[in-house]
Amino acid sequence: MTAALTDDEATRAALAQLRANDVGTFVKPAERQYPHQWNWDAALVALGLGLHDPERARLEVRSLLRGAWRNGMVPHILYHLGASDYRPDPAFWRTAEHHPAGLPTSGLSQPPILASCLHRLHALAPETERAAWHDFLAETYPAVLAWHRWWHTARDPEGRGLVAIVHPWESGTDDAPRFVPALARLRPTAVPEFVRGDRTHVAAAERPSDDDYARFVHLIDLYRALGWDPDAIWREAPFRVVDPFLNAVLHRADGDLAEVARLLGEPTDEIEAWRDATRRAYPQLWSDAAGTFQAWDDRAGAPLPSSGIAGFAALWGRLATPEQAEALRAAFADPAAYAPVDPAGVRLATVRRDDPLFMPRRYWRGPVWIVTNWMVADGFDAAGMHDAAATLRDDALALTRRHGFHEHYDPTDGTPGGARGFSWSAALTLVLEREARAARLEA
């Protein structure tokens, strides 16, 4: 175990990590494991970088939006540099008809956190940078609006007020337990040309199982055969899940986008209509018995009972009532659920400890992720639960200071896991430090 860094050292280390992963026009999520540009990683990297190097942050976002499809979708992976040892490789997706010339992309999207990051960058900008951020909001607004419209139509064509994802990767939390029953029903057919590449740089025990992976690839195989047509995918997708996490991210981002629209003097009716519809529909995801929000399986017509951070995302989305926020806080403080029992333990495990699917070192099955700590801390603060927020920020900062910037950390003892040199853990360290300082000043 290494000694923890001081404030200044932590800032320097985070900036050095982002520089190390910078290939010029985008920052790789991790040096070896993720050599392309990923959607929400890029937004989070831009947020952290923007506090120190605004011009570089704007370039990150421009690179991401360059990948937008004609129908508005901003894809989850952009292969700016062409193929690498990462799988799926660009050709596997068969998206040539849709992606911009010369920039191959995946065919799925990812949590639309970009509007929230841009709005925050403008709000936090010093006086000297305000005008530049304002211009940048104007430059990016049409593409971000078109992307939100894509979510609200392609992934909610019936106007239910909640979008459904058609692949676990669209949630950003790939192998989360809430998807297990919906994936179990699939009967993956063999995809002969697919070879996994995700266990070259990271231990197999920290990655999704072969069963999960076969299903991830099977879904891509079905959708590429449908030519990535959103209507056909909506009709045929054997996996269609209303995810409380994705919907909370989108709802918050819609709110931030409406703020941006107001700053720019643009109309907000369309965005406010999305917001109203989500506010009306989201309460259906609450389970009194479980004390949390749960995903809904469109194909089974039933909830997907599961624990985990997806429920806490409602705090980030400002979608929990005070009573619901209190139930989430109680679980947060409960040693049978999320509070550590060991002195070396840290929060917030992405899955409850008493969940039969909890695995402290496997990817989204239990480890602490810096991004979810940051989001839930923000949500607890907004609910007036400042102690819980401070715990999450302190735990996240202690982890990155002690161990460096990893993809995730074991909640039972802080052991780092997943990819090393993980960009958003560095970027969000910069953001969390600033927020922790501000919270200390306010207290």
Q: Which residue has the CB atom at the shortest distance from ligand GLC?
A: 29
Contact between 317 and ligand GLC by CB under 6 A: the answer reads: no
Among 89, 156, 170, 174, binds ligand GLC (CB under 6 A): 174
- Region of 32-40, 49-57, 177-185, 321-329 interacting with ligand GLC (CB under 6 A): 32-40
Segment 236-295, which members bind ligand GLC (CB under 6 A)?
Answer: none
Residue 364 and residue 307 in contact, taking contact as beta carbons nearer than 8 Å: no
**Active-site annotation holder among 243, 407, 410, 435:** 407
- As given in the structure block, the two tokens for residue 271 are 């965005």
Q: What angle (nearest 5°) sits at the alpha carbon of residue 46, between those of residues 44 and 48?
A: 70
- CB neighbourhood size of 3 (10 A): 8
Q: Which stretch binds ligand GLC (CB under 6 A): 37-45, 231-239, 310-318, 392-400?
A: 37-45
Shortest Å distance, C-beta 419 to ligand GLC: 7
Q: Give the nearer residue to ligand GLC in terms of CB position, either 41 or 259.
A: 41
Instruction: Look up residue 241 and give its amino acid.
Output: V
Closest distance between ligand GLC and the C-beta of residue 5, in Å?
Answer: 23
Q: Considering the complex, state which of residue 176 and residue 222 has its C-beta at the smaller distance from ligand GLC.
A: 176
Quick check: 29 binds ligand GLC (CB under 6 A)? yes
Check binding of 34 to ligand GLC (CB under 6 A): yes
Active site residue 174: yes
Q: Which of 291, 442, 439 is nearest to 378 (CA)?
A: 439
Residue of 156, 174, 410, 435 with catalytic role: 174
Task: Give me the least distance between CB of 41 and ligand GLC, in Å please.
Answer: 5
Phi-psi region of 424 (alpha: psi -120 to 50; beta: other; left: phi over 0): alpha
Residue 79 binds ligand GLC, judged by CB under 6 A: no
Q: How far is the CB of 38 from ligand GLC (least distance, A)?
A: 4
Between the CA of residue 371 and those of 87, 118, 185, 302, 405, what are the distances in Å?
A: 24, 16, 30, 29, 12
Is 41 a binder of ligand GLC (CB under 6 A)?
Answer: yes
407 is catalytic: yes
Stretch that binds ligand GLC, among 34-42, 184-192, 349-357, 383-391 (CB under 6 A): 34-42
Q: Give the shortest CB-377-to-ligand GLC separation in angstroms.
A: 18
- Under the binding rule (CB under 6 A), the answer on residue 38 touching ligand GLC is yes
Beta bridge partners of residue 20, listed in sequence order: none
Tell me which residues touch ligand GLC (CB under 6 A).
29, 34, 38, 40-41, 172, 174
Q: Which residues are catalytic?
A: 174, 407
